[in-house]
Amino acid sequence: MALAEVFERIAGPDAPVEFLAYDGSRAGTEGSPVRITIKSPAAVRYLAQAPGAMGLARAYVSGHIDVDGDMYAALSRMASVQRLDLGVAERIALLRQLGGVRVLLPRVPPPPQEVRVRRRSLSGRRHSRGRDASAISHHYDVSNTFYAWVLGPSMAYTCACYPAEDATLEEAQAYKHDLVARKLALRPGMRLLDVGCGWGGMVRHAAREYGVKALGVTLSEQQALWGQRAIEEAGLSGLAEVRHLDYRDVAETGFDAVSSIGLTEHIGKAQLPGYFSFLYGKLKPEGRLLNHCITRTDDKEPARRPDGFIYRYVFPDGELEAPGFLVSLMHDTGFEVRHEENLRGHYAKTLAGWCANLDEHWDEAVAEVGEGTARVWRLYMAGSRLGFERNQIQLHQILGVRLGETGSSGMPLRPDWDVVPASEVPF
């Protein structure tokens, strides 16, 4: 069987994709807007040594496979590859088609962008402070310039909330920050703690639009430097601050509100009770917590996939929990959960915007971070968009309140955070 035909079989016989191989073979749908080119024998070795999605990902990141056309379209058309789980007989058959046992040795090392526990950057007990700092640095300390090209002016690396189908990414990120602020009922003079604050977008929004004294903390040094400089340039130094700090080291207490936007995924299931307990202890009575995080669709799937592409290349030590588990845990900690919503569709649109930004700045991104890292992000964001669209992952906002001694919540009888017309939200 010709090499291109082997890859076509892996992708699925119905995948409308064209395949070209270095041996001159061609297969698939001729003239397709998506074309996969197998450029060297190393691509074959990657696939033989790690059959399925991981082998293909390694070959792509290392440049031994090219994807011409839209990456999201390519993954949509080859969705079966992501679910490829070959049995022993199928692996033997695939190995034979790829050239037999000679392609198994020598082993091809993974691309340098792949994190291997105890061998590159990640060592020690999972979710210890030192290892958490290394995992966060791997993902977030890529390049602030690179992130600016991908995320846009908001520098918000979390799910946006689109007030309308035709809203821009920037409008949706501003609307998301304002939605969080309204759910927390922020008012002038309040104190906000934003854990895992990223580049400080929520901190600046709360200070600028609500007159709130806001403290943000992040384990990424590059984020903290960028965020603090942005605060100073905006003239918000009297109200806002971003620190390079583990959230567990925040000494202040008595906050009126806490926002956690995209941090829970990094905490780890075993540490979640302590995480919610810590945040509960930082709040005044009737203070609110808004927890915004990616989740599994249910409790049947594993919390982490250490052999998966995202775990190895993007979010080392990342763990996802089901929304029901998080709600129950918040209740067990002492919070009264007052509202919950799924923004899954919003994250798919957010990722579409990020993918378009990366494509627009592709040459600059490659020059800034290297082609391998740029390829990781192209593959990761397109695959994540597909995952949200197909309900393989979700994004939930959960609002909880620390009750007063007599059970008072300070909450209105009905939610009031969506009463502000989208036209009046500060974009």
CATH number for position 229 = 3.40.50.150
**Is residue 401 one of the residues assigned to a domain?**
yes
96 and 192 in a single domain? The answer is: no
332 and 219 in a single domain? The answer is: yes
92 and 142 in a single domain? The answer is: no
Give me the helices (H) in 154-304, please: 169-183, 201-210, 221-233, 272-282
Tokens linked to 58 = 């390694």
| pLDDT-derived band at 119, boundaries 50, 70, 90 | very low
**Is residue 283 one of the residues assigned to a domain?**
yes
283 and 397 in a single domain? The answer is: yes
- Amino acid 93: pLDDT: 79
pTM, two decimal places: 0.93
202 and 97 in a single domain? The answer is: no
pLDDT tens digits, one per residue of 3-43: 998 888 777 666 789 999 999 999 999 999 999 999 999 99
* Other CB atoms within 10 Å distance of the CB of residue 383: 21
209 and 91 in a single domain? The answer is: no
**Is residue 115 one of the residues assigned to a domain?**
no
d(CA 18, CA 327): 46
In the chain, helix, strand, coil percent, each to 5?
45, 15, 40
What radius of gyration do the chain's Cα atoms show?
A: 23
Q: Lowest mean pLDDT of 313-317, 323-327, 370-374, name the range.
A: 313-317
Type of residue numbered 77: R
Among the candidates 59, 82, 103, a domain finishes at 103
Residues 336, 409 contacting (CB under 8 angstroms)? yes
Q: Is the pLDDT assigned to residue 421 strictly greater than 70?
A: no
**Is residue 147 one of the residues assigned to a domain?**
yes
What is the arithmetic mean of pLDDT over 220-225?
A: 94
Among the candidates 103, 123, 143, a domain finishes at 103
Is the bond into 33 cis (omega within 30 degrees of 0)? no
Residues 358, 378 contacting (CB under 8 angstroms)? yes
Phi, psi of 335 (to 5 degrees): -70, 145
193 and 317 in a single domain? The answer is: yes
CATH number for position 28 = 3.30.1050
227 and 333 in a single domain? The answer is: yes
Tell me how many domains the chain contains. 2
What is the arithmetic mean of pLDDT over 260-273?
A: 96
Among the candidates 62, 86, 103, a domain finishes at 103
* Structural domain containing residue 16: 3-103
